[in-house]
A and B are shown apart, each in its own frame.
Chain A
Amino acid sequence: MKKPDYVYVTYIATTPEKLWEAIMDTNMMAQWWVDPKAGCARVNVSDWKPGSPWAHTRADGSGIVDIVGKVVEHTPPKRLVYTWARPGDAEDESKHSRVSFEIEQYTNELVRLTVAHDDLAKDPKMLEGISGGWPTILSNLKTFLETGHALPKAPAAS
């Protein structure tokens, strides 16, 4: 394993199965994979078989794909690994970075989710883009699982 560029950890009061479902099910994803800076929600679409493509797709009906990659590992409800690239670099694996989700039972009530992003050095601009994004996404995910709804909407500009 290479040294990750970023490691994010959050503890969520849920079960590994529910957490797994939330990161797999596009209906659920549409409720929490929202970064206010990026506008509408995104969902990750794939059949999740190792080697299959996946697409980070806008959930506003436009079908616009912002990120693509290939599924590397899919072990429910423990570990999900995929590569991560701009659609224009889909064929150029030298520009792909890698994201992994690791799910562990931490205590009876808490599940520990570790998200690592590595190989970003190949694409410094991507590094900039994602470093602000993951904390928002992960705290949305936590709120969604613990309260049943995503974050309150950002206050309207006055």
Chain B
Amino acid sequence: MNFDKVFKALADPGRRRLLDQLHADNGQTLTALCEHMDMTRQAVTQHLQLLEDANLVAVVWQGREKLHYLNPVPLHEMHTRWIAKFERGRLDALHDLKQKLERNDNEKT
């Protein structure tokens, strides 16, 4: 597992947005993905290639359509390697607290 590639692929807001888009609607074409991205088709293609190289995006051909799928397996491995073994319980508690506080903030505004 090449963690360097995964971290590098995630270190860009545009690529993270692409992953979020696939999370919302898995198996999209390049054209569909471009609709929600304010960058050129060429830039989206390059970002997708990087995500594919990191195995965060898996590609399936359906006839002439290239469909992109969010592949969470490397994220899971990263989670097992870097998070699960350290203080899981406390991190969960902290995460819950953060979410709760932020939710309260949002309700006020």
- A, B co-complexed: yes
A interface with B by C-beta (< 8 Å):
1, 3-11, 114, 116, 135-136, 138-139, 142, 151-152, 154-155, 157-158
Give the segment of B13-21, B33-41, B66-74, B97-105 that binds chain A.
Answer: B66-74
The main secondary structure of chain B at its interface with chain A is mixed
Chain B hits for A151, CB < 8 A? 80
A48: shortest Cβ distance to chain B, in Å? Answer: 25
Q: What 1/0 flags go to B17-47 for Cβ under 8 Å of A?
A: 0000000001100000000000000000000
Closest to B90 in A: A158
The main secondary structure of chain A at its interface with chain B is mixed
Other CB < 8 Å A-B pairs besides A5-B27, A11-B55, A142-B1, 8 of them? Answer: A3-B67, A5-B26, A7-B60, A7-B71, A10-B55, A135-B76, A139-B77, A152-B85
Question: When the two chains form the complex, which single residue of A1, A3, A5, A135 contacts B73, counting CB atoms closer than 8 Å?
Answer: A135
Given contacts A135-B75, A136-B76, A139-B77, contact A7 B58 (CB under 8 A): yes
B interface with A by C-beta (< 8 Å):
1, 26-27, 55, 58, 60, 62, 67, 69, 71-73, 75-77, 80, 84-85, 88-89
Q: Tell me which of B26, B69, B77 has the highest count of chain A C-beta atoms within 10 A of its own C-beta.
A: B69
Contact A9 B76 (CB under 8 A): no
Question: When the two chains form the complex, which single residue of A3, A9, A155 contacts B27, counting CB atoms closer than 8 Å?
Answer: A3
Chain A hits for B73, CB < 8 A? 8-10, 135, 138-139
A102: shortest Cβ distance to chain B, in Å? Answer: 10
Closest to A2 in B: B62
Complex alpha-carbon distance, A116 and B61, angstroms: 13
Chain A hits for B76, CB < 8 A? 135-136, 138-139
Contact A155 B72 (CB under 8 A): no
Chain B hits for A154, CB < 8 A? 84
Question: When the two chains form the complex, which single residue of B26, B62, B67, B71 contacts A9, counting CB atoms closer than 8 Å?
Answer: B71
Chain B hits for A11, CB < 8 A? 1, 55
Complex alpha-carbon distance, A152 and B73, angstroms: 18
5 A-B pairs within 8 Å (CB atoms) are namely: A4-B69, A6-B26, A135-B73, A138-B76, A139-B73
Chain A hits for B26, CB < 8 A? 5-7
A69: shortest Cβ distance to chain B, in Å? Answer: 21
